[in-house]
Amino acid sequence: MDLFDKVKLILDTVGYQPFDIGNSKAVSTGPFLTPNNAMILHMNDLEKPNEHIPILAEDEFAIDARFSPDDSWLAVPIDYSGKEEHLLYRLSTKSQEIPLPKEQLSRTPGRYMWLEWSPDGRSIAWCVSRQDSNQLIVQPNKEGEDERVLWKGDEIVLWLDWGNTGLVKFTRLQGATNEFHETVIDPKDEKELVKLPVASSNSFFGRWHPRESVFPFLNADDHRLALYDVKSDEKILLPKMEGELEGTAWTSDGSHLLVSSTKDARDTVLSIDPESLEVVSLELPAGINKIVKVRQMDSEDVLFFVHADATTRVNLWKMGLESQEVEQLTKKRSPKVGTDDFPLVNSISEHWKSRDGLQIHGFVMVPDSPPPDGGYPAVVNVHGGPTGQDADAFVGTYQILVQEGFVVFRPNFRGSTGYGVEFQRANFREIGKADLIDIVTGVENLVKKYNVNPEKVAVMGGSYGGYMTLRALTKPDVFGFAAGWAEAAISDFRYLYETGDAVFREFISYLFGPPDDDETKSALAEASPISDWENLQSPLGVVQLANDTRTPLKPVWDFVNLLIERGDNVEFHVEPAMGHVNIPKGYLARSIVRKIQFLQKHLLES
């Protein structure tokens, strides 16, 4: 089977991670591939979960969608250019037209962060970043009505929830000081009721209790899970739990709190009784298990979650909380995947110590075939973020690379989520330095343990992973990577700060410190690959997105031009009319093929 056939197989094996589940109807909505391989918003009936119906056109890009309380509307932030200039629309779920007819609600675009419906369905709260500030806006669910700014400021808004008691809660991050607060506002009079300091976690989201003004949070002092009662100003500490806590959901009567806990990039879902403090681990399949929603169906509370592992694409599952029955709902998989035509390899969990003694974790995938003379070639995939993680989930590109004879290494370096709040913050002013050492010490472990050829190790990644690819290649004194493939990369953090909107200015402050501080300015310059472009000697492939406002084209274009003017042979692709998060038709196939062909050329054929 040639490379093109393999890519077709993995595109035919489509995962599904819904944005939302209906509140009363058996429906879900989320991104799914069209026959043209465009990733757009679909909706499906949970009685026929594999019949995905496209509800937007292929040039309408949505990164979220939420059902109204009665499921008659979908609130959808839509972007047409890839520049993340989102406007808020509503789609009628009662319509028989495909795509669904839409009505524009907001007038002023902004970079979308989060949205939630009011309990009565009359309004939508959504967070956007605009050039001057980050804003929490209340938009009436009626065409032609003006928005109302409930809050605005410099802080990044991470999460938002509108409780059944009528109060709005959102998480704020002050980047330069790494201060996190849970803020509660009464939208009726716009009065701020609570500003609660909490642990500095980018991944924890505490939902309102369904009947009371109570929400879970991570205690600022010891990072323990706790409950906060707005009326009484009381905090209730819950039992200590292993792993980093992430998503939450309540049972319909509020008697139990569900929370997902991740350890070594694999998840457990825990059920907590706040009265007895009993904690029970739900019996879910091993791997990734992220909470989507809990709702009643047929008089039973049902947990909807997404599950994946190294050989299983992410899909929607459910569990009856009374019956304990677990069922996979969505599945689209080529019958050849997992056979001799397309064998699958599981990931191996690896731990190692970085040079400063910090424990680092990641995954390794090793070919079944014996190594060639000199050892296996290897590819290091660097995840985006950096506040993200490479989880134990199926990625078709990894499987193809292993079939082609590469060891695939997926490190979760300092700054990654899933390893505690101190680990998340361990990359402050260490961007491109200590986190690069984490990766390199992991590669050194591969060389010793898995017979990897140190002269045939490539690095690749997108977004922050694209940045790290450029950083690694411009630091050959740290490790001599044989080649690099960078997608949506960052070459100059100074440019990113100067041209970014409010959320990205604050994010740069989170990574480097106050912008006017001399140490911050020095760190920005030191971390930028363009400062050391002359050191790059290895083959480089770059894919940059013309309309990307997170990792802009211009500074990477300038970086590549410096190499070309020097006479370097750089493979440079610019994707027109594409931004950081939209996937237009045809992109996935060509993206995977050219990446693998580049790695084959420079590691297998050279």
Residue 43: how many CA atoms within 13 Å on its side-chain side?
Answer: 25
Distance (Å, whole) CA 83 – CA 85? 5
Residue 258 lies in a domain: yes
The pLDDT assigned to 123 comes to 98
Where among 245, 273, 302 does a domain terminate? 245
**398 φ, ψ (degrees, to nearest 5):** -60, -45
Say if residue 26 is in the same domain as residue 118.
yes
Say if residue 308 is in the same domain as residue 456.
no
Residue 336 lies in a domain: no
The pLDDT assigned to 1 comes to 85
The pLDDT assigned to 585 comes to 76
**Domain CATH code at residue 61:** 2.130.10.120
Distance (Å, whole) CA 554 – CA 492? 10
Extended beta strands in 354-428, E state: 359-365, 376-382, 407-412
Residue 99 lies in a domain: yes
Q: Could you list the residue range(s) of the whole structural domain that residue 486 is in?
A: 348-492+528-604
Q: H-type helices in 324-420, by residue range?
A: 396-403
Closest to 126 (Cα-Cα) out of 104, 148, 103, 97: 148
Global pTM reads 0.94
Say if residue 324 is in the same domain as residue 426.
no
The pLDDT assigned to 16 comes to 94
Say if residue 107 is in the same domain as residue 201.
yes
H or E element in which residue 320 lies:
strand 312-320
Question: Please, are residues 316 and 308 in contact by the beta-carbon 8 Å criterion?
Answer: no
Say if residue 241 is in the same domain as residue 262.
no
The pLDDT assigned to 35 comes to 86
Burial of 357 (0-12, 13-18, 19+ CB in 10 A): exposed
Distance (Å, whole) CA 258 – CA 432? 37
**What are the average pLDDT values for consecutive 10-residue runs of the chain, which has 606 residues?**
91 92 97 88 96 93 96 96 94 95 95 96 96 95 94 93 97 92 96 96 95 97 96 96 95 98 95 96 96 95 96 95 97 88 95 98 97 97 94 93 98 95 93 97 97 98 97 97 97 91 89 90 95 97 93 95 94 90 83 96 89
Say if residue 240 is in the same domain as residue 258.
no
Say if residue 65 is in the same domain as residue 143.
yes
**Domain CATH code at residue 451:** 3.40.50.1820
Distance (Å, whole) CA 351 – CA 340? 31
Q: H-type helices in 381-517, by residue range?
A: 396-403, 421-425, 434-449, 464-473, 493-499, 502-512
Number of domains in the chain: 3
Say if residue 139 is in the same domain as residue 220.
yes
DSSP 8-state secondary structure symbol assigned to residue 549: S
The most distant pair of C-alpha atoms in the chain lies apart, rounded to whole Å, by: 72
